[in-house]
């Protein structure tokens, strides 16, 4: 529910309550006043009747006034009590049962007590209450209607800067250089909100840049000790009379150093891609590039009895040559290294679509986590789990769409652009 | 031949010098920008190995100074920076090659050998041993009984071995040199075995000695007597 709707609803409810209450109070007061008036009226008629009787020594014939009924009744020695009551009587004028106010009072006349009743219709009150209810209800309806209309109009007008700011925020991405531009507004709250958002995003960006710089510096710093270790290993294996055991240890150390070097290289690469350090996009013939890449890996496939089907057609792509190189390397390495012995790889290049599929583990990969950093399927995996993250990152900056599919025991990566 | 190694990491510097001195290079080590600047003023070197990030200054300035003075010292940049821009920058300033850290020492050796061949003899040279002659211009190998028919990979392999003679070279380093280092082969280097085997077979069939020795679990060693190997200008 929108904020304004919530507010209007509460507002309308309270207003309805106040109107109903005030109408009731108004009705009650008017009723009291009317009844008092009526009583005074009846008392006036009473005086007139008494005066008439005293003057003429007889009861007035018929109606004393137009709207008042009057009746006389001999009660003998019984003296009636003077009282005012509300009764229902048949109104000849309106031809239906109606509310009347009746005053009974005693009068000594002709040697006996008489009960004299005067009745006046309460028509006025009936009309009044009806008028009050009609006015109240119509006012409430008008208020609700106006609130709803205002709600719609205000929502669009007053809240427009808010929704615009939210749109800007939704498109905000860390790692993009463009600064956020919020719509200008004269509403103080929105100005405050925009200022806060600008401040928060600027801080997030700054922290992000620091983090990236840290990654890049850390990777650079790591390269030197890695070089030293590698060179020392290169020296160790030159030693004469190296035992089999020592050779084995050195080989394992080499293997780990290679992994660490790759990991470091990958992290640095990710940082650089995010830093947009590869913005030299060119139109490249992908066919040529793919064939060029297949060549060196062919021997690796051959020695692992991996058969390759390739269907490479002409297609061009606009991308940084360096990134394309890395992208293809990673896709090929991926298809090779996660393959089964005597497995299969198929490479298909069509207009604006590149598909590489390989046989592998019979379990489909987790599509949600697949492209995240350090995603690994096995515990003892030989890989750093950054290959696919790099593929995704390169695709992102090169406007290429990547998709993973598992079908017919084949893992496929599909690139479209 | 005299080399100058400008590298601020003393440990790395020591390993490189030790490795190269086995090839009868005289290796001067310089650890700082200022010291390096003084040395290039005072001496001439066949080849300078240059790190870019140095305490006291940028290594590229040393390269600029060399070119200003019109010196012909060959320059091989060794740097932790691996972006295309850094490489192009170095090469445009007149460096002969660019090697990214971390590298294998045999790779460094091969690169230096290639630079020196280009620089000193303009590529018109032959590597001559008792049994075969490697003609770098023609990219041909002649044995005692005539030309030995080698594939491109086998030729490159032989050339790589002659730059790292009498040294143990790992399979990993060979793969990186011949196939490039960016395709991750999962530590599975068995496929180079075929190339080594064929090269050995072809050399032996041409009545060469069996130069290539497998070092168990590690790699290969190309045995050549130091006095046996000469470089000749055509």
Q: Where are the domains of chain B?
A: 2-103, 123-233
Q: What is the CA radius of gyration of chain B?
A: 18
Contact indicator for B158, B199 with CB cutoff of 8 Å: yes
The mean per-residue pLDDT over the stretch A40-49 comes to 86
3-state secondary structure of A89: strand
Residues in CB range of A13: below 8 A, 6 or more apart: none
Closest by CA to A251, choosing from B64, B15, B206, B172, is B172
Question: Between B200 and A75, whose confidence is greater?
Answer: B200
Across the interface, whether the CB atoms of B83 and A277 are under 8 A apart is answered: yes
Residues on chain B touching A325 (C-beta within 8 angstroms): 182
Contact indicator for B106, B167 with CB cutoff of 8 Å: yes
Contact indicator for B37, B56 with CB cutoff of 8 Å: no
The Cβ of residue B41 has, within 10 Å, a number of other Cβ atoms equal to 11
As given in the structure block, the two tokens for residue A305 are 């009895």
Question: Hey, is the C-beta of A255 within 8 angstroms of any chain B C-beta?
Answer: yes
pLDDT at B167 over 80: yes
pLDDT of residue A380: 56
The mean per-residue pLDDT over the stretch B175-193 comes to 75
The confidence band for B231, taking pLDDT boundaries of 50, 70 and 90, is: low
Q: Whole-angstrom Cα distance, residue B128 to residue A264?
A: 41
The confidence band for A382, taking pLDDT boundaries of 50, 70 and 90, is: low
Considering only alpha carbons, which residue of chain B is nearest residue A230?
B104
Burial class (CB in 10 A: 0-12, 13-18, 19+), B220: buried
Q: What percent of chain A has pLDDT over 90?
A: 15
Instruction: Compute the Cα dihedral for A127, A128, A130, A135 and give only its sign.
Output: positive
Q: What percent of chain A has pLDDT over 70?
A: 96
pLDDT of residue B107: 93
Strands (E), A313-386: 316-319, 344-350, 353-359
Among the residues of B43-151, which ranges form H helices? 59-68, 84-92, 105-121
Q: Whole-angstrom Cα distance, residue B69 to residue B62?
A: 11
Across the interface, whether the CB atoms of A303 and B184 are under 8 A apart is answered: no
Question: Which residues 224-243 on chain A approach chain B with CB closer than 8 angstroms?
Answer: 224, 226-232, 234-235, 237-238
As given in the structure block, the two tokens for residue A370 are 């697949």
Question: Between B125 and A247, whose confidence is greater?
Answer: A247
pLDDT at B14 over 60: yes
Contact indicator for A220, A247 with CB cutoff of 8 Å: no
Which one-letter DSSP state was computed for residue B164? T
As given in the structure block, the two tokens for residue B83 are 């972006």
pLDDT of residue B234: 55
B15 min Cα distance to partner chain A (Å): 6
CA angle (B38, B39, B44) in 5-degree steps: 135
Q: Which of A140-144, A199-203, A309-313 has the lowest mean pLDDT?
A: A140-144
ipTM: 0.85
pLDDT of residue A83: 87
Residue indicated by tokens 């770098």: B136
3-state secondary structure of A312: strand
From residue B200, give the alpha-carbon distance in Å to each of A71, A75, B211, B212: 147, 152, 8, 7
Residue indicated by tokens 């950093």: A373
The confidence band for B232, taking pLDDT boundaries of 50, 70 and 90, is: low
pLDDT at A129 over 90: no
Q: Give helix A387-397 / helix A321-337 axis angle, nearest 10°.
A: 150
The mean per-residue pLDDT over the stretch A401-410 comes to 90
Average pLDDT over chain B, rounded to an integer: 86
3-state secondary structure of B219: strand
Q: What is the CA radius of gyration of chain A?
A: 49
Please report, in angstroms and rounded to a whole number, the separation of the first and last CA atoms in chain B: 20
Which one-letter DSSP state was computed for residue A81? P
The mean per-residue pLDDT over the stretch B82-103 comes to 87
Closest by CA to A325, choosing from A371, A352, A288, is A288
Q: Could you write out the DSSP letters of every residue in A100-169?
A: EEEEEEEEEETTEEEEEEEEEE-HHHHHHHHHHHHHHHHHHHHHHHHHHHHHHHHHHHHTHHHHHHHHHH
pLDDT at A224 over 90: no
Across the interface, whether the CB atoms of A258 and B187 are under 8 A apart is answered: yes
pLDDT digits over A233-275, tens only? 999 988 888 888 888 898 889 888 988 888 888 888 888 888 7
For chain A, give percent helix, strand, coil, nearest 5. 55, 20, 25
Which residue from A223, A230, A387 is facing B80, i.e. has the nearest CB?
A223
| Chain A interface mutation, best of B51, B156, B170, B184, highest count of A Cβ atoms under 10 Å | B184
pLDDT of residue A76: 80
Residues on chain B touching A224 (C-beta within 8 angstroms): 9, 12, 80, 101
Q: Whole-angstrom Cα distance, residue B168 to residue A267?
A: 31
pLDDT at A363 over 80: yes
Question: Hey, is the C-beta of A296 within 8 angstroms of any chain B C-beta?
Answer: yes
B118 min Cα distance to partner chain A (Å): 26
Contact indicator for A403, A414 with CB cutoff of 8 Å: yes
pLDDT of residue A179: 77
Q: Which of A180-194, A364-378, B180-194, B197-211 has the lowest mean pLDDT?
A: B180-194
The mean per-residue pLDDT over the stretch A389-408 comes to 90
The mean per-residue pLDDT over the stretch A32-60 comes to 85
pLDDT of residue B220: 92
Question: Which residues 365-384 on chain A approach chain B with CB closer than 8 angstroms?
Answer: 382-383
pLDDT at B16 over 90: yes
β-strand partners of A350: A353
pLDDT of residue A63: 57
pLDDT of residue B72: 84
Average pLDDT over chain A, rounded to an integer: 84
A261 min Cα distance to partner chain B (Å): 8
Q: Which domains does chain A have, with CATH numbers?
A: 3-153 (no CATH), 166-277 (1.10.287), 282-416 (3.30.565.10)
3-state secondary structure of A206: helix
Contact indicator for A227, A264 with CB cutoff of 8 Å: no
Please report, in angstroms and rounded to a whole number, the separation of the first and last CA atoms in chain A: 41
Q: Whole-angstrom Cα distance, residue A308 to residue A358?
A: 9
pLDDT at A354 over 90: yes
pLDDT at B186 over 70: no
Considering only alpha carbons, which residue of chain A is nearest residue B168?
A238
The Cβ of residue B55 has, within 10 Å, a number of other Cβ atoms equal to 10
Residue indicated by tokens 């041993």: B129
What is the fold, at CATH topology level, of the domain defined by B2-103?
Rossmann fold (3.40.50)
The Cβ of residue A366 has, within 10 Å, a number of other Cβ atoms equal to 11
Query: How remote is the C-alpha of A280 from its chain's centroid?
Result: 39
Question: Hey, is the C-beta of A337 within 8 angstroms of any chain B C-beta?
Answer: yes
As given in the structure block, the two tokens for residue A33 are 């006043």
Q: Whole-angstrom Cα distance, residue B82 to residue A220?
A: 10
pLDDT at B148 over 70: yes
pLDDT digits over A84-106, tens only? 888 887 777 667 777 888 888 88
Closest by CA to A326, choosing from A399, A413, A276, A395, is A395
pLDDT of residue B209: 84
pLDDT of residue A192: 93
pLDDT at B228 over 70: no
The confidence band for B124, taking pLDDT boundaries of 50, 70 and 90, is: low
Residues on chain A touching B183 (C-beta within 8 angstroms): 296-297, 300, 329, 332-333
Q: Which of A123-127, B71-75, B77-81, B191-195 has the lowest mean pLDDT?
A: A123-127
The confidence band for B92, taking pLDDT boundaries of 50, 70 and 90, is: very high
B123-233 belongs to which CATH class? mainly alpha
pLDDT of residue B17: 93
Residues on chain A touching B172 (C-beta within 8 angstroms): 254, 258
A369 min Cα distance to partner chain B (Å): 22
Which one-letter DSSP state was computed for residue B230? E
Residues in CB range of A311: below 8 A, 6 or more apart: A346, A347, A348, A349
Instruction: Report chain B residues touching chain A, CB-CB < 8 A.
Output: 9, 11-12, 15-16, 18-19, 22, 80-84, 101-106, 167-168, 170, 172-173, 179-180, 182-188, 190-191, 194, 215-219
Closest by CA to B159, choosing from B199, B122, B130, is B199
Question: Between A76 and B168, whose confidence is greater?
Answer: B168
């Amino acid at each position: 529910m929108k904020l304004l709707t919530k507010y209007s609803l509460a507002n309308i409810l309270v207003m309805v309550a106040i109107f109903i209450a005030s109408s009731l109070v108004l009705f009650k007061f008017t009723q009291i006043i009317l009844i008092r008036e009526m009583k005074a009226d009846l008392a006036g008629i009473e005086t007139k009747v008494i005066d008439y009787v005293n003057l003429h020594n007889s009861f007035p014939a018929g109606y004393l006034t137009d709207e008042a009924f009057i009746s006389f009744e001999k009660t003998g020695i019984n003296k009636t009590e003077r009282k005012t009551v509300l009764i229902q009587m048949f109104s000849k004028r309106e031809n239906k049962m109606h509310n009347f106010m009746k005053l009974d009072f005693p009068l000594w006349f002709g040697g006996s007590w008489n009960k004299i009743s005067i009745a006046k219709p309460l028509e006025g009150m009936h009309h009044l209450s009806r008028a009050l209810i009609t006015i109240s209800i119509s006012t409430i309806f008008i208020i609700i209607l106006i609130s709803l209309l205002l709600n719609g109009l205000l929502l669009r007008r007053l809240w427009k800067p808010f929704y615009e700011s939210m749109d800007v925020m939704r498109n905000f991405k860390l790692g993009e250089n463009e600064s956020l531009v919020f719509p200008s507004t004269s509403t103080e709250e929105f100005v405050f909100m925009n200022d806060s958002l600008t401040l928060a995003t600027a801080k997030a960006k700054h922290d992000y840049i620091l983090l990236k710089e840290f990654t890049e510096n850390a990777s650079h710093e790591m390269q030197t000790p890695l070089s030293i270790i590698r060179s020392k290993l290169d020296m160790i294996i030159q030693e004469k009379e190296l035992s089999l055991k020592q050779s084995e240890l050195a080989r394992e150390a080499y293997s780990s150093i290679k992994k660490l070097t790759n990991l470091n290289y990958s992290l640095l690469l990710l940082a650089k891609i995010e830093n947009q350090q590869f913005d030299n996009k060119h139109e490249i013939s992908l066919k040529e590039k793919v064939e060029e890449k297949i060549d060196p890996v062919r021997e690796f496939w051959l020695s692992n009895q991996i058969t390759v089907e390739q269907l490479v057609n002409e297609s061009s792509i606009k991308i940084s040559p360096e990134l394309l190189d890395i992208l293809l390397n990673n896709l090929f390495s991926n298809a090779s290294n996660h393959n089964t012995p005597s497995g299969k790889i198929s490479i298909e290049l069509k207009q604006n679509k590149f598909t590489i599929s390989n046989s592998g583990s019979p379990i489909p990969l987790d599509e949600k986590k697949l492209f995240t950093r350090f995603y690994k399927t096995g515990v003892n995996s030989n890989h750093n789990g950054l290959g696919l993250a790099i593929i995704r990152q390169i695709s992102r900056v090169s406007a290429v769409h990547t998709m993973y599919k598992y079908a017919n025991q084949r893992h496929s990566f599909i690139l479209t652009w | 031949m005299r080399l100058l190694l400008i590298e601020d990491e003393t440990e790395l510097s020591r390993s490189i010098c030790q490795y190269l001195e086995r090839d009868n290079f005289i290796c001067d080590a310089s650890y700082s920008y200022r010291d390096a600047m003084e040395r290039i003023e005072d001496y001439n070197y066949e080849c300078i190995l240059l790190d870019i990030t140095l305490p006291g200054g940028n290594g590229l300035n040393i390269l600029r100074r060399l070119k200003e003075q019109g010196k012909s010292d060959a320059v091989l940049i060794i740097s932790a920076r691996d972006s295309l821009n850094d490489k192009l920058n170095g090469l445009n300033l007149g460096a002969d090659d660019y090697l990214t850290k971390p590298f294998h020492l045999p790779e460094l050796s091969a690169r230096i050998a290639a630079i020196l061949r280009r620089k000193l003899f303009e590529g018109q040279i032959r590597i001559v041993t008792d049994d075969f002659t490697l003609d770098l211009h023609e990219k041909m190998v002649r044995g005692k009984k005539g030309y030995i028919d080698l594939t491109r990979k086998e030729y490159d392999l032989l050339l790589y071995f002659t730059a790292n003679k009498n040294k143990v070279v790992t399979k990993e380093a060979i793969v990186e040199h011949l196939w490039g280092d960016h395709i991750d082969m999962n530590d599975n280097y068995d496929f180079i075995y075929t190339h080594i085997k064929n090269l050995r077979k072809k050399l032996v069939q041409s009545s060469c000695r069996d130069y290539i020795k497998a070092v168990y679990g590690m790699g290969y060693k190309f045995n050549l007597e130091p006095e046996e190997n000469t470089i000749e200008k055509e």
